[in-house]
Amino acid sequence: MNIRMFSIPLLLIVGVMGCAMLQEPPLTEIPASRLFCAQNPEMVDGDLSTVSTFAAKGTIKKEYVTNKGYEPRKYQSRVKGSLKTETLIKLDAPTYIKYIEVHPASTIPNLALDVTAEEKSPKWTISFTAVEDKRSEKVEGTLPVRFQIEREVLYLRLTANAMEDIDNVSHGTEIGELQIPLKGASIREVKFYERQ
């Protein structure tokens, strides 16, 4: 008797929730024609066969450093320039974005996303809001990674750390000194999804 009393309300709740989910409009991918990226246009061209790479602006200098006193020499690394790389994607109009998918073509260290629905001003005084989903995670492999956005977006900023380009290491002027150029991560496509 008690089981019957609880099963009827439970079935009603499940039925109402199921109907609500069926009535919710489906998600649709925003076409590439609505997306713009001056720095990396291949990231939003709608073609998964093209690859775009973040521009890296720096090198890593590794050298032995002698400290004062009796401490032994230590091997230290210093970044000359910046370890950070970024690109900016703009939609044609502010749009409520449910999520985006990043289709990586390489490892992407410390990938972070920030968004704003404000228009760019001459002094770029607008503020970005951090997307907390998977913030600063290392993306590995080539499978798409989904990031929940769930807000209105006009600009999406992607930032990631550059990586050491170990194929192009050169020796410096000091013994044991190495100059390692930095290279940016690569992405095949960034896809945006909205609810109609």
pLDDT digits (tens, 9 = 90+) for 28-52: 999 999 999 999 999 999 999 999 9
pLDDT digits (tens, 9 = 90+) for 136-175: 999 999 999 999 999 999 999 999 999 988 888 887 777 7
Q: Which two tokens stand for residue 75?
A: 């091997």
**Which of 91, 56, 87 is closest to 191 using CA atoms?**
91
What DSSP character marks residue 1? -
Q: Which two tokens stand for residue 17?
A: 């929730």
How are beta strands 145-161 and 178-183 bridged, if at all? unpaired
- The single-letter code of the amino acid at 110 is N
